[in-house]
Structure 1
Amino acid sequence: MSPDSSRLEPDQLPGTLYTTDSLPTHRRRAYWCESLSRTFGSVGTTVPDEVYSGKIRTVPLGRLRAVTVDADRLSALRTRRLIAQGGDDEYVVVKLLDRGVARLEQDGREALLGPGDVFVYDRARPFRLHFPQSFRTKSLVLPRDILGLSEPDVTRVTATPIGPDSPMGGLLSPFLAGLVDSAGTFPPHTGELMARNIVDLLGVLAHEGLGRTNADTPGANRALLLRIQAFIDRHLADPDLTPQVIARVHRISLRHLHRLFESEDVTVGRWVQRRRLEECGRDLVRRANSSTIAAVAHRWGFTSAPHFSRVFRAAYGMSPREWRDTQSLTLHTPSSTELMDT
């Protein structure tokens, strides 16, 4: 029995939601198999005779897609016959196993996977993926041409788990999870640009598999820069957040740190100040009636209110007070339609 396609509707969450929750038990199995095929391409799917629950959320990120799957046990088999049918094989899947265990077979390797592991499989070649119990995964589905890797290089990253305790896993796992979870909250083009950083990391992995050095590869530098920028965002409120501290925490030289930020056309100090000003600008409007300007400045790491006012005016062409009043007025000014209705 084919699933009722009219039920494949977007949920209130961003993107499209496929869920068995509202279906009668006898219709869930066919619906679930169809939903998996729509999301991940043609695969031979084995699911329990009684599917108790299954949920897929998929969000486009330009040419890429972010996908979350929360489901009962299943097995997926991609055969040469299915690949020969064509039409949906030009994709690589980067997947984080958020809950449960799994086994992946591809390119002559078998990977046993646990929570926190990140792994890759290529839909252009046969694979088998088995989840023996309920699980949750967070995936990025990307066209193979975006990778910029040769066929041999792609085979070096498939079915090779990246553990959460490894240096690469410690970087890739939270970034992938955060990207998938927040997909739909920013424009597709922005999401695709963020996702391409994961592509850079896969390039680093391929280079490592070839025994190449990755200390100064563009992908490695980009990955380190992203990690540092995330660190800065988490510590903006610390007034002692200096380039020296940032370099020491990440075990690199101050010179290397400044070289990383050359790609952003800004110094490290200016980057920190810019991010603080952006957060202050939001807070000045959001907390207009509950916080003073000085309190907002201190909240985001500025130790001197006069200094904050000077750099804010230099950045935005107006004082913090003028900014707050102007933005508040914009937010609360009724539209022409609203005026006509009064």
Structure 2
Amino acid sequence: MQSRSYPFRGGFARPGWNFCSAAAPLRKGELQTIFTTRDVHPRDRFDYWHSVACKEIVEHESFPDSRAHFEAEIEVGSVGALDLVAFQNSPLKVEHAQAHISRMSSDQLLFCRETSGLVSVEQDGRQITLHPGDMTLLDPALPYSAKFSEDSRTLVLKLPRRELQARVGKTRGMLARQIPVGATDDTLISSFSAALPSLAGQVRPVCGRLAADFMLDLIAFSLAKAVESTTLRISSTKAMAILEIRATIKSRLADPDLDPQSVADAVGLSVRYANNILASQDTSIGRLILRERLEKCRQALEEPVQLRRSVSEVAFGWGFSDLTHFGRCFKKVYGMSPSDYQLSHRKG
């Protein structure tokens, strides 16, 4: 994430500093506090918080229960492709309206997990209340409102829109659906999302990418399951089928015998029907297998701890059986041969 500075009484606050006189260094495995109302004059607190919140979360209008006694804190970080924002604030109402949307372009979706307190959310005609551990998806490209209770603390994962839609298709019908903590699957996603802040800035880039990819898979599964019993049953069933196809492919990438028929058999579909479903995302079983294998090989060729491995070892390890085919496909996607790609990272 880019370095930021925000105005406050007497100067500027930079990342790693609270709005107070002394430095507040970032401790290992934590998000970075970029704003806190501590030691800010009460008359300035809300206005400064609102300015930072509009930049870091989403542009909006806020209506606090009490300006004079307003308190808040905002922390940020990132894990792989996921930007994280954790915030807590005094009771207030938030409105993200069409006027705000017209001034922005968003390539991200907001996955929210309530850590403590309560928050009521309304978007696209649905209204829900999140309790601690509960989660939901919001789209900043559409209006929404939220009301935060006393002691509310929320973690927001900013998801790459294209990455999530590649997993579940169109997401509008999945917005403002309550994902309650309770079921084993949803407890897993709630627990893993709660653990993400501890990884911010602490893991290798490749581990960050793996964690983000796993988080996106879990979110996609929970969203598809959340709408399974609604009027969107047909589309959600297809989304679940896509997730099962992707999960099967990922779990068997190293198998050189993995092919469209074996994947279709594993998920209980015909190859033709599976490819018809995947066509909505402009792909097929065969193309998914190839893309996932190439990505795993690319990661291995650039990861410092794997640079001792030969190109052939990497390719065969991820299920390729023809080095010429592998090299041609790799160069088409990444713009250089596998050996040149590996060499460029050895020099780096």
- TM-score interval w.r.t. the shorter chain? 0.5 to 0.7
Task: Assess if the C-alpha contact under 8 Å between 1:118 and 1:161 holds in 2.
Answer: yes
Partner of 1:16: 32
Helix, strand or coil for the counterpart of 2:50?
A: helix
Partner of 1:68: 86
- Tell me how far apart the structure 1 counterparts of residues 245 and 149 of structure 2 sit (CA, whole Å): 35
- Tell me how far apart the structure 2 counterparts of residues 111 and 179 of structure 1 sit (CA, whole Å): 24
Partner of 1:169: 186
Task: Assess if the C-alpha contact under 8 Å between 1:58 and 1:67 holds in 2.
Answer: yes
Helix, strand or coil for the counterpart of 1:85?
A: coil
Question: Could you say which structure has the larger radius of gyration?
Answer: 1
Task: Assess if the C-alpha contact under 8 Å between 2:93 and 2:147 holds in 1.
Answer: yes
Superposed displacement of residue 9, structure 1: 2.8
Partner of residue 55 from structure 1, selected from 48, 73, 77: 73
In 2 relative to 1, CA 58–192 (structure 1 residues): closer, same or farther, beyond 3 Å?
A: farther
Superposed displacement of residue 85, structure 1: 1.2
Helix, strand or coil for the counterpart of 2:203?
A: coil
Helix, strand or coil for the counterpart of 1:138?
A: strand
Q: Deviations over 1:3-59 (max 9, x none)?
A: 427124324225531111131222111111112112112111222312442111101
- Tell me how far apart the structure 2 counterparts of residues 188 and 84 of structure 1 sit (CA, whole Å): 34
The aligned runs of 1:131-142 (5 Å cut-off) are: 131-142=148-159
- Tell me how far apart the structure 1 counterparts of residues 169 and 220 of structure 2 sit (CA, whole Å): 12
Task: Assess if the C-alpha contact under 8 Å between 2:186 and 2:222 holds in 1.
Answer: no
- Tell me how far apart the structure 1 counterparts of residues 120 and 245 of structure 2 sit (CA, whole Å): 28
Superposed displacement of residue 187, structure 1: 3.4
In 2 relative to 1, CA 174–101 (structure 1 residues): closer, same or farther, beyond 3 Å?
A: same
The residue type paired with residue 102 of structure 2 is: A
Residues 1:6 and 2:6 aligned together: no
Which moved further from structure 2: 109-118 or 44-53?
A: 44-53
Residues 1:90 and 2:116 aligned together: no
Superposed displacement of residue 124, structure 1: 0.8
TM-score of the two chains, using structure 1 as the length reference: 0.59
In 2 relative to 1, CA 183–134 (structure 1 residues): closer, same or farther, beyond 3 Å?
A: same
Superposed displacement of residue 63, structure 1: 3.6
- Tell me how far apart the structure 2 counterparts of residues 84 and 135 of structure 1 sit (CA, whole Å): 29
Structure 2 residue runs of 5 or longer lacking an equivalent are 1-5, 17-23, 252-265, 268-291, 294-348
Q: Aligned pairs, how many? A: 228
In 2 relative to 1, CA 200–102 (structure 1 residues): closer, same or farther, beyond 3 Å?
A: same
Helix, strand or coil for the counterpart of 2:174?
A: coil
In 2 relative to 1, CA 170–32 (structure 1 residues): closer, same or farther, beyond 3 Å?
A: same
Partner of 2:54: 37
- Tell me how far apart the structure 2 counterparts of residues 60 and 128 of structure 1 sit (CA, whole Å): 25
Residues 1:148 and 2:148 aligned together: no
The residue type paired with residue 196 of structure 1 is: D
Helix, strand or coil for the counterpart of 2:146?
A: strand
Task: Assess if the C-alpha contact under 8 Å between 1:162 and 1:168 holds in 2.
Answer: no
Superposed displacement of residue 64, structure 1: 2.3
The aligned runs of 1:107-146 (5 Å cut-off) are: 107-146=124-163
Q: Deviations over 1:142-166 (max 9, x none)?
A: 2212212599731222111111112
Partner of 1:338: none
Task: Assess if the C-alpha contact under 8 Å between 1:45 and 1:76 holds in 2.
Answer: yes
Residues 1:202 and 2:254 aligned together: no
Structure 1 residue runs of 5 or longer lacking an equivalent are 226-254, 257-263, 266-342
- Tell me how far apart the structure 2 counterparts of residues 189 and 196 of structure 1 sit (CA, whole Å): 11
In 2 relative to 1, CA 42–151 (structure 1 residues): closer, same or farther, beyond 3 Å?
A: farther
Superposed displacement of residue 69, structure 1: 1.1
